[in-house]
Structure 1
């Protein structure tokens, strides 16, 4: 038995050594070919890199979008990086992003195939990861017609309004007291539950969270699974950039967690609302201004409805400014070039991954004065503040089809929270605005805030 164990161990060690030798040899030839090609073609600038692995170590920098923003400030808005065996172009300026996603929209319409997402994407057949072609176009057409067209979104408005009322009812129940004191609440799990219920009701007419099942262990486990999946998705998993036979490392401990995740709508809208409330708490004068707008346009005799959203320009400006500062996808879902194309006068070879750093673009001080300051007034019609174009949901063929749904949901829920409740920070310090990492942009620390029902809304909320 001991002899067999020793032999097995030796075989495993030998296999590991062979794998490492294969990796080193392959990375050497990739590095040599890239160096030769750069001489032949007008490739984008390439910052200094490490032997064999190139810039793969940058993937370990968290949050990645911030580190890439710093690199762009140092080396320029168009960079060629080499993540192990995969070349990647990073775009960090609005004109270059427009050139990629408008002028070269078709040439950059593909998605890279990451080993870690093979199972969760059913072998790259779901719409977000499918290769551009007839199959993808049919999926896009069906999802738009059946779920995300203006007509279908209006048809499902009652479902979203019912979920917003359910959220208000639970918050009212949890924060009501005879002395009318503020109570501490954590919004993230509540917002996640609402977003998941909306998606489930639209797809199968069944809520995931029942009335009294909010803290159910299975539901919480699913929430953690989604958050972990988003943290591993995108261009942030080192194993995705290792050549065979070490690429299997990317799948260890990931496949089981990602296999059943629902569309991104369960996550992006909830974290956008959490960022918006955090920004409003740190800017109480903006919160007061928004509250006055809702009181003037909607009143306290009924709850805000989706049909009210076009009449609430400041609410829409708050959402736009939140998405500018904290886009749900700071790095757009990676694109891949179908064929060779030109970007910024440089050659992007076919099969190159393209990362558009929306976070850097929407904080460019040349386009957005005082980019780190929360100024919803940038987006009001009479604004004299200079502003650029935001595209947190992408552009072109691969633009997120759920954008309209997300904007309606965020507007309805954020407006309801401000209409029905008073909000304060838990102490005199500003809310911590540290950013998490992954495909989406969550807060590193979940928001905890003080909440109580507004006196003018108590009688209305008590009816539910």
Structure 2
């Protein structure tokens, strides 16, 4: 149902069946949008937004230790990064970020672009769709209409600027501008529907998933202060206190990456991954799978399987140090695996590593009160914390001078 109602005739890499359309969509996604070269060009956007957030946190915590809504700041950061990459402007300007109007703007953005449930009971019992069970299909139609109107405004604005030659050609192109440029050589393929689908994919797949994982990482670090101190020591030794961390430093911070991977293992953002559908009759593990069967992969269960992991419920980032670059195989796949794996894994890791590294380099973080951070979660399409994370932050004395000059 979601494929029918929340996409533009399945013209997105997630929904398109194998074939010429899917191969072209995948090519555009991996080469034009998410390749190493493209990510290098957009690194300035990620750094500017991270430094902007550091300014805001420093303003509210400079006088005395301050309790901050960590979930809000993560969501704000990732949403602004994605909007700048897609359309060239943040969804919430820095002047509004810590005000009620900023929270209102972010809420409106989330209502339009954040992911919605992709599989529901009507997919398994089609008769329920016919009778309009709980109005699910009508809600999807309204959601798609709202998204289409918002995307239409974005695309129309950028199209007008291009036609008026207002955009600086030397400036880094946004995703929408890149797709307009590609349309000149392949006008039949890059229809309005394809441009909207690829834009929507970036905004939906790259926002809430990344922000939620950052929240899980910081929650685990607060509950394990010895790990937090080890990450901070690594940043201090590799980056120091003379400057702010940047993306070129991330390769020198392997333990930070281990912490993020261990968080993915314990709390995969999409615990059942995206639904898959068999395109032909097949036999898997001795079981006959008819064509058209919906398959859900329980990554959460496999990541905690005691047959695959030693002390599977324990937060132990060192386990990824022991792997030391070896292929983990099919026991760890937070981004999926194979041809349908998420092509945005590299960008997600860059955003999370840079943001978390900057937070840890510049501020001291503590739990609110003496109780451990609540780690209960709502187990749905996205594994989100039941209780949003709040934490007490204090600027590090060694970084106060740099933060005051941002």
For the criterion TM > 0.5, the same-fold answer is yes
Find the aligned partners of 2:143 and 2:264 in 1 and give their Cα distance.
28
1:287 aligns with 228
1:323 alignment partner, one of 264, 268, 273: 264
In structure 2, relative to structure 1, the CA distance for the partners of 1:195 and 1:300 (3 Å cut) is same
Contact 2:113 2:204 in 1 (8 A): no
Taking structure 1 as reference, are residues 222 and 205 closer, same or farther at Cα in structure 2, changes over 3 Å only?
closer
Query: 2: distance between equivalents of 1:269 and 1:161?
Result: 16
Aligned-pair distance for 1:124? 2.2
Matches of 2:111 and 2:386 in 1, distance apart?
A: 14
- 1:136 maps onto 2:22 in alignment: yes
Give 5+ residue unaligned stretches, structure 2.
148-199
Q: What residue number does 2:118 align with? A: 234
In terms of Rg, which structure is larger? 1
Conserved in 1, the CA contact under 8 Å of 2:2 and 2:118?
Answer: no
- 2:110: which partner in 1? 223
1: CA distance between counterparts of 2:361 and 2:281?
A: 52
C-alpha separation between the residues in 2 aligned to 1:126 and 1:399? 14
- After TM superposition, the structure 1 = structure 2 runs for residues 349-428 of structure 1, keeping only pairs within 5 Å, are 349-381=290-322, 389-428=331-370
Q: Which moved more, 1:398-407 or 1:338-347?
A: 338-347
How far did 1:258 drift?
Answer: 4.9
Q: Which residues of 2 match residues 42-191 of structure 1 at below 5 A?
A: 115-177=1-63, 181-191=64-74
Larger deviation, residues 116-125 vs 299-308: 116-125
Give 1:129 deviation, angstroms.
Answer: 1.5
Task: Give the equivalent residue in structure 2 for 1:305.
Answer: 246
- Alpha-carbon distance, 1:123 to partner: 3.0
Aligned to 2:159: none
Structure 1 stretches of 4+ moved >6 Å: none
Work out which of the residue numbers 73, 80, 99 in structure 2 matches 1:197: 80
SS in 2 for 1:167: helix
CA deviation profile, 1:328-383 (whole Å, cap 9, x unmatched): 11001000000011211211111111110000000001111111111000011477
- Give the superposition deviation at 1:224: 4.4
Q: Using the alignment, how far apart are the partners of 2:375 and 2:111 within structure 1?
A: 21
Going from structure 1 to structure 2, the CA distance change for 1:338 and 1:117 (only over 3 Å counts) comes to closer
Residue segments in structure 1 that go unaligned for 5+ positions in a row: 1-114
CA distance in 2, matches of 1:118, 1:462: 51
Contact 1:238 1:250 in 2 (8 A): no
Q: In the TM superposition, what is the alpha-carbon distance from 1:327 to its structure 2 partner?
A: 0.9
Query: Of Structure 1 and Structure 2, which has the larger fraction of its residues in helix?
Result: 2
CA RMSD of aligned residues (A): 2.0
* CA contact 2:69–2:389 (8 Å) conserved in 1: yes
Task: Please give the TM-score of this superposition, normalised by the length of structure 2.
Answer: 0.80
Equivalents in 2 of 1:166, 1:131: separation in Å?
41
CA contact 2:80–2:91 (8 Å) conserved in 1: yes
> Deviations for 1:395-427, whole angstroms, at most 9, x for unmatched residues?
111100111100111111111111111101101
For 1:246, which of 127, 131, 138 is the aligned residue? 131
